Chain A
Amino acid sequence: GGIITQTPKFLIGQEGQKLTLKCQQNFNHDTMYWYRQDSGKGLRLIYYSITENDLQKGDLSEGYDASREKKSSFSLTVTSAQKNEMAVFLCASSMGDNLSGNTLYFGEGSRLIVV
């Protein structure tokens, strides 16, 4: 089996600071995702990428940048951290094909704290 590793597990930053979260997967999956999880609001898609160097905006992309440097890694940058952005950020990957039904495999999450 494979694993998705998110770093760091906790990220503390100051308001206005640029902060970056990283995600690595060894499933050899083509598609990777970044979701934001807020209590009571479920998962909201920020960015996804269907292959290396591809980027697609999700429903919540404003205020974020993403980078798919290689197939196994996908990073997310909060361009100017705000206190209302404190949430858990989840990275996921999938084969991205209909045969697998597009099952997503998730990392354990990174909690962002803005002081």
Chain B
Amino acid sequence: GEQVEQRPPHLSVREGDSAVIICTYTDPNSYYFFWYKQEPGAGLQLLMKVFSSTEINEGQGFTVLLNKKDKQLSLNLTAAHPGDSAVYFCAVSPTSGGNYKPTFGKGTSLVVHP
């Protein structure tokens, strides 16, 4: 089955620095890719979703890149601020109907120091 490796497990940066989190997946049929953010004491919230046909997607202060050739998904924060401190998870889902189980990475704990 699908396996997702996420790195690094911990990341500490200064305010204004960039931060990059990378996930590598194994199933070439993977089609939906997600980044979730978990703040302390809370559940996971969807940060961004990309489909296999999209290679780049941008949100407020971050960019998601999908490299299908290398089966790699990355979350790039361009100028981190303390409010970005959280645990980030990637998740991958296949395209075939009937498989309702996304595979999650193990998470990256990001700390942004003022």
Contact = CB atoms under 8 A, between A and B. Distances in A.
A108 interface: yes
A98 to B, nearest CB: 6
Nearest to A44: B104
Interface residues of B, number: 26
A101 B45 CA distance: 15
Interface string B83-114: 00000010101010100111011110000000
A92 B93 CA distance: 15
A66 B8 CA distance: 34
Contact of A42 (B34, B100, B107): B107
Contacts of B9: 40
Contacts, number: 61
A22 to B, nearest CB: 15
B41 to A, nearest CB: 7
Interface size range of chain A in the complex = 20 to 34
Interface in A14-67: 31, 40-43, 45, 48, 50, 56, 58
A97 B9 CA distance: 31
B98 to A, nearest CB: 9
Sorted from nearest, which 10 A-B pairs have the closest CB atoms? A106-B43, A42-B106, A101-B32, A106-B44, A43-B104, A108-B43, A102-B93, A96-B100, A107-B43, A31-B100
17 contacts: A31-B100, A42-B104, A42-B107, A43-B44, A43-B107, A48-B101, A58-B101, A92-B43, A96-B100, A98-B97, A101-B31, A101-B49, A102-B32, A106-B36, A106-B43, A108-B41, A108-B42
